[in-house]
Chain A
Amino acid sequence: MGLPMMMERSSNNNNVAELSRVAVSDTHGEDSPYFAGWKAYDENPYHESHNPSGVIQMGLAENQVSFDLLETYLEKKNPEGSMWGSKGAPGFRENALFQDYHGLTSFRQAMASFMEQIRGGKARFDPDRIVLTAGATAANELLTFILADPNDALLVPTPYYPGFDRDLRWRTGVKIVPIHCDSSNHFQITPEALESAYQTARDANIRVRGVLITNPSNPLGATVQKKVLEDLLDFSVRKNIHLVSDEIYSGSVFHASEFTSVAEIVENIDDVSVKERVHIVYSLSKDLGLPGFRVGTIYSYNDNVVRTARRMSSFTLVSSQTQHMLASMLSDEEFTEKYIRINRERLRKRYETIVEGLKKTGIECLKGNAGLFCWMNLGFLLDNKTKEGELELWDVILKELKLNISPGSSCHCLEFGWFRVCFANMSEKTLDIALKRIHEFMDRRRRF
């Protein structure tokens, strides 16, 4: 090769073997403000009795409002460990050995029926199209590997979940091209915005492979309108690209009738060439409050994608133990019906509490109807309606009010001053305290 011999050999201990680009890249995004707030929380976490002046975590979309329902179920239905295997420990042998990426049939059936229930039976799910992954994070990454090559792009409407920058791009090498949305129409996706994003990609010689939406939206906390879904499918067909709908908050819509899944749109379509571009991501982490179980799924209308995803899921399998534990719970329709209903109701109440509480202090939120958070508008408090201005305010809220909320800029929102505020990962009392702190802050500001 022409290299001098001494450069080819490293005979001393000072040479450390290189790491890959993936390993050294900062695409994991953990240096961004979104995660910096988490660090502040870790250092001084709020606790009702031990540390009432600590940082309240309002940046984590976790659902704890219905723990009691889960607890009761687990204790009641589990005296002989029946939940940990339908035959209890004797089912252990199958659990221990089973590592088939097809997943337990009973569990896939249970997932399919649960997903149908959430959609009020308006769409059917075929258990054989369900691919299991260890969480929705893995599902989104896996789909990206399958639908796009390195340097291709997915179009994603803003504002979007900050984790996408990492989940969709880090190992896959795929780019995200934002579809910009703004408050003029409640941040809904318009055909113009879609075309504009597509054109932006083309101008940069980037091949667009699909659109990825979250419905209900994170961070907006609002469902996507049926008309918009139809527009999206139409757009995907015209450009011959994929459509991924991340519906992990579908069970957290306050009024079931307000949610339209892309599955409903596709349900009445026979044309395979239209259907097979649609893929849905789901998980039990938000709706069922089971993030620790690591259960996610890809539901695809495309046989090739199902086959490929299945094989690739070996990198992210759901343990057979977990599948067994949850299969009986998810197929217990009496339990799931009750859980979904009560959970929706409690989330709605929480939402109203926080929105009303904020309104009293003069703060408006986007009209939301789903999810574990609200989209709060503090634009009027900014001296400079810039990213820097927004981050300054965010810092004040973190340091003075000791509230960790997520700045809209970390969600790639081009309108500055919006913040995502989570309300379901705390007790009602804690939410009260958070609102009090905001109240006091606003009072202080008014006095100046």
Chain B
Amino acid sequence: MRLIVPLRGVIQGRGGLFVGSLIPCCLFYFLQLYLKRRRPPPPSDPTELTRTSSRSNLFSRGNSIGRVRISSRAVPVAKPTDSAYYIGLERVKTDPYDRITNTDGIIQLGLAESTLCFDLLQKWMSENLMESIMQSNDGEFDISSIVMYKPFEGLLELRVAFADFMSRIMGGNVSFDPSNMVITAGGTPAIEVLAFCLADHGNAFLIPSPYYPGFDRDIKFRTGVELIPVHCRSSDNFTVTVSALEQTYNQARKRGSKVSGILFSNPSNPVGNILSRETLRDILIFAQDKNIHVISDEIFAGSVYGDKEFVSMAEIVGSGEFDKSRVHIIYGLSKDLSIPGFRAGVIYSFHEDVVNAATKLMRFSSVAVPVQRILISLLSDTRFIEEYMTAHRQRIRDKHILFVEGLKQLGIPCAESGGGLYCWVDMSSLLTSYSEKGELELFEKLLSVAKINATPGTACYCIEPGWFRCCFTALADEDIPVIMERIRKLAESSRS
């Protein structure tokens, strides 16, 4: 079709020139079309067909053997990452800090996980693990209860236990229906499956930024769905506004992108905001107006430590004012219950067809049955969950206070936050240049000089340079002064 473009100049010319030039151009164009149809499918690797296999083997000597290729969608997956988020995580592995054996190592502040309540979990596990897997109703060990095929969407008892658990930790003002729920092998497949169900290849989700860098992989790797950041500003404490949503949506439409939904995290990641009822309603009204889906990632719902109350999107639609079927919620136990290794996530949707499709897709990402048994036992132990969640919130709060105070002493402020396992730190005063470049330079200095891995805002698509996400819930109290000292030294050397 691009061949037509050069013809325009001709067409605009005089009649004779037009006819004299147009006919051969047309002929040329149609010849190309004919040849294209006749051409065999391209060889798998045209550039490397000339390689000869010089070593003897049983197969096809005489013909040169090309290197077999992987699919074009797989190629970007194998490439070395260019995201500072992953680069930082990799660097820590090469020289991880240890309080005793490697005090000069890199301190990990880039992974949102909590170890603050391990003592409680460990105790529960040592007392209950065996029983929860091995025992069936009559007290006898029945192997069929853990080894056989079970529904891929999760045992009913687990969905019931999850529904109850989610209701408790989300303030008790909302109830969840187990039949709207599908259990997934972690939050990662939960978001991917939703993306597969709600958007076609090439469609897009709006996503308030800064956002969790992992979403790029989770959504873009295989679904082909685009993520369009809706930029939020520090002046709004990085809370999404309707005007930003409208503006981004309109720009997307002009570019020809089809927006299928809006995805956001609440509590937000990396900032740690708790979204107000008003903001949640604004998002719903916007989505209704554009007739798009709403995906609320509530994976940090139980990790709330501030004064602001967490409200689930499920509670907002519960009022009956909005069309529920466009709302879908993601949850999981990796953050609130500190068991990412168990791989347990939830897709909760008010749309029956989405639940049905997701159920069928769970064959690719289901939770092992013995693990489900452990979780049923764990989540149903309401006394323990109560004790755990109270301690979890309190300990995050205490650690948060220490961490933020430490930074404050250095003249480094943090955004206001009330949830999550991290804080959003404004290190712009340490930048040599107030730009993305300056921020990445600081990121590198933090890694190699201060030996700290913090995730730079660029990796989270933040438009204001200098912000870093620092996860503090895997730190012991004594690690904090160490961190602050390292930052102080870095700050000093950069000022001199």
Enumerate chain A interface residues (CB-CB to B < 8 A).
Answer: 1, 9-11, 13, 15-24, 28, 30, 60, 62, 64, 67, 70-71, 74-75, 78, 81, 84, 88-90, 92-99, 134-135, 137-138, 141, 145-150, 152, 167, 170-171, 173, 202, 205-207, 209, 230, 233-234, 236-238, 240-242, 269-271, 273-274, 276-277, 289-295, 302, 304-305, 307-308, 311-312, 314-322, 325
Q: In this assembly, does B18 line the interface, its C-beta being within 8 Å of a C-beta of chain A?
A: no
A-B contact pairs, 22 of them (CB 8 A): A9-B289, A15-B291, A17-B261, A19-B351, A19-B357, A22-B196, A23-B197, A28-B360, A74-B134, A78-B130, A95-B342, A99-B341, A171-B361, A171-B364, A230-B58, A269-B57, A271-B55, A273-B53, A290-B147, A292-B147, A314-B218, A319-B341
Complex partner residue of A60 from B44, B149, B201, B364, CB under 8 angstroms: B149
B352 CB to closest chain A CB (Å) equals 11
Tell me which of B60-68, B160-168, B421-429 binds A.
Answer: B60-68
Q: In this assembly, does B463 line the interface, its C-beta being within 8 Å of a C-beta of chain A?
A: no
Q: Which residue of A lies closest to B67 (CB)?
A: A273
Whether B291 lies near A17 (C-beta < 8 A) is yes
Whether A322 lies near B370 (C-beta < 8 A) is yes
Q: In this assembly, does B98 line the interface, its C-beta being within 8 Å of a C-beta of chain A?
A: no
Q: Which residue of B lies closest to A278 (CB)?
A: B68
Q: Which residue of A lies closest to B74 (CB)?
A: A146
Whether B192 lies near A81 (C-beta < 8 A) is no
Interface string of B111-131 (1 = CB under 8 A from A): 001010010011001100110
A233 CB to closest chain B CB (Å) equals 6
Cα separation A95 to B126 with both chains bound (whole Å):
13
Which residues of chain A are within 8 angstroms of B68 by Cβ–Cβ distance? 236, 240-242, 273, 276-277, 302
Q: Which residue of A lies closest to B321 (CB)?
A: A13
Q: In this assembly, does B109 line the interface, its C-beta being within 8 Å of a C-beta of chain A?
A: no
Whether B343 lies near A17 (C-beta < 8 A) is no
Whether A294 lies near B366 (C-beta < 8 A) is yes
Cα separation A240 to B60 with both chains bound (whole Å):
11
Q: How many A-B residue pairs have CB under 8 A?
A: 293
Q: In this assembly, does B25 line the interface, its C-beta being within 8 Å of a C-beta of chain A?
A: no
- Known contacts A242-B68, A314-B188, A317-B185; A269/B58 CB under 8 A: yes
Cα separation A19 to B344 with both chains bound (whole Å):
25
Which residues of chain A are within 8 angstroms of B366 by Cβ–Cβ distance? 134-135, 294
Complex partner residue of B197 from A22, A28, A149, CB under 8 angstroms: A22
Cα separation A206 to B323 with both chains bound (whole Å):
43
B183 CB to closest chain A CB (Å) equals 12
Tell me which of B228-236, B332-340, B407-415, B451-459 binds A.
Answer: B332-340
- Known contacts A17-B260, A93-B118; A202/B143 CB under 8 A: no
Residues 332 to 391 of chain B near chain A (Cβ within 8 Å): 334, 338-344, 351, 353-354, 357, 360-361, 363-371, 374
Whether A17 lies near B370 (C-beta < 8 A) is no
Cα separation A148 to B73 with both chains bound (whole Å):
8
Enumerate chain B interface residues (CB-CB to A < 8 A).
Answer: 40-45, 51, 53, 55, 57-60, 63, 65-68, 70-74, 77-78, 113, 115, 118, 121-122, 125-126, 129-130, 133-134, 141, 143-144, 146-150, 185-186, 188-189, 192, 196-201, 203, 217-218, 221-222, 253, 260-261, 287-293, 322-323, 325-326, 334, 338-344, 351, 353-354, 357, 360-361, 363-371, 374
Whether B143 lies near A74 (C-beta < 8 A) is yes
Complex partner residue of A97 from B203, B288, B290, B340, CB under 8 angstroms: B340
Cα separation A311 to B78 with both chains bound (whole Å):
8
Which residues of chain B are within 8 angstroms of A134 by Cβ–Cβ distance? 185, 343, 364-366, 368
- Known contacts A273-B53, A293-B368, A321-B370; A10/B357 CB under 8 A: no
A250 CB to closest chain B CB (Å) equals 19
Which residues of chain A are within 8 angstroms of B150 by Cβ–Cβ distance? 292
Which residues of chain B are within 8 angstroms of A325 by Cβ–Cβ distance? 370
A226 CB to closest chain B CB (Å) equals 12
Q: Which residue of A lies closest to B199 (CB)?
A: A20
Whether B59 lies near A99 (C-beta < 8 A) is no
Whether B66 lies near A145 (C-beta < 8 A) is no
A219 CB to closest chain B CB (Å) equals 18
Cα separation A135 to B199 with both chains bound (whole Å):
26
Whether A99 lies near B186 (C-beta < 8 A) is yes
- Known contacts A241-B68, A321-B371; A24/B122 CB under 8 A: no
Which residues of chain A are within 8 angstroms of B57 by Cβ–Cβ distance? 269-271, 274
Cα separation A273 to B68 with both chains bound (whole Å):
7
Which residues of chain B are within 8 angstroms of A18 by Cβ–Cβ distance? 260
Whether A23 lies near B198 (C-beta < 8 A) is yes
Cα separation A373 to B284 with both chains bound (whole Å):
53
Q: Which residue of A lies closest to B256 (CB)?
A: A1
Whether B196 lies near A96 (C-beta < 8 A) is no
Whether B122 lies near A70 (C-beta < 8 A) is no
Whether A240 lies near B66 (C-beta < 8 A) is yes
Whether B197 lies near A319 (C-beta < 8 A) is no
B399 CB to closest chain A CB (Å) equals 17
Whether B67 lies near A276 (C-beta < 8 A) is yes
Whether B113 lies near A205 (C-beta < 8 A) is no
Cα separation A317 to B133 with both chains bound (whole Å):
20
- Known contacts A62-B149, A89-B129, A319-B185; A96/B77 CB under 8 A: no
Complex partner residue of A273 from B65, B253, B323, B343, CB under 8 angstroms: B65
Complex partner residue of A30 from B185, B339, B360, CB under 8 angstroms: B360
Whether B40 lies near A202 (C-beta < 8 A) is yes
Q: Which residue of B lies closest to A149 (CB)?
A: B71
Whether A74 lies near B149 (C-beta < 8 A) is no
B268 CB to closest chain A CB (Å) equals 22
Q: Which residue of A lies closest to B142 (CB)?
A: A71
Which residues of chain A are within 8 angstroms of B364 by Cβ–Cβ distance? 134-135, 137-138, 141, 167, 171, 315-316
Whether B289 lies near A320 (C-beta < 8 A) is no
Which residues of chain B are within 8 angstroms of A145 by Cβ–Cβ distance? 71, 73-74, 222
Whether A99 lies near B149 (C-beta < 8 A) is no
Cα separation A15 to B292 with both chains bound (whole Å):
9
